Structures are given as C-alpha cells and as structure tokens.
Amino acid sequence: MSSKPLLRVRKTGALMVAAVIAFVCAIPLAGAMWQLTPVLLIPTAIFVWAWRAGTDVYADELRVRALVGSTKVPWQRVNELAPDRSGQISALLDNGKVIRLTGVTPDNLPRVLAAGQQQIGHSE
C-alpha cells in the first residue's frame, strides 16, 4: 500500500471555520476567569475532529479516520456501499458489519469508487 491516499474525503470546511469563530468568541469568556479556560478546549476539539475525520481511499483499502484512531477496510471485504437514512454512505462488509464512511456522500461516491479502482454499477 502506498503511504499517500489516492483521494481524501473530508467533512465540509465550514465546520472548521465555525470552530475557529467559536474559539475566538470564547477567548473573552476564558479571559474573564481562569477557571473558564477549559471552554477553549471544546472548539479546539471540534476543529481537530473536522480536520482529521474523513475517509482516505487507497487502491487496496479504505481508511476511515475519526478524532482518535482509524479503521482500515480492505476493498475485498466490502460487499456494498449504500446511503443510510442521513444520506451518508456506509460500507456493508462481508462479515455483516456496517461502517459509516465519514465524509462520503452520494455526490462524491463515484469519485471514491474511481479512486479505489472499483467497479461502478449494480450486480444482479
């Protein structure tokens, strides 16, 4: 496996901008009393999560990243990719387990499949 993914799918950048705005707005609150400085950790954690969380596509696997840790899923274990109720794409694995692919939507699914050199279409 190469060390650099063929495609990185992340959440919208608007979430990171909102986290920066929340951080800046929390500075006066944290400056008023030192006991309130932990309030700054909330927008910081949201920023790091939005920056890190997503799905990396490699030729031989998918890597689903979260705030802490990641899950590697070889393409041969993926039976199906389908949208869930919220419109996010989930992978149904050969053992029956379902893994939500963070950041992958029906709109960018063709790019994910093309980057992973997977067939696009339905098997009957």
pLDDT in tens, 62-100: 999 988 889 999 999 999 998 888 888 999 999 999 999
Tokens of 34: 């030192």
- Res. 123: pLDDT tops 60: no
Give the domains, in start order, of the chain with CATH numbers: 7-115 (2.30.29)
Q: Locate the DSSP E strands across 11-116.
A: 54-57, 61-65, 70-74, 78-83, 89-93, 98-100
Q: Are 9 and 110 in contact (CB under 8 A)?
A: no
- Res. 121: pLDDT tops 70: no
Predicted confidence band at 2 (pLDDT cuts at 50, 70, 90)? low
Taking only the tens place, the pLDDT of each residue in 18-60 is 999 999 999 999 999 989 999 999 999 999 999 989 999 999 9
Name the residue with higher pLDDT: 118 or 53.
Answer: 53
- pLDDT for position 23: 96
Q: What's the predicted TM-score (pTM) here? A: 0.75
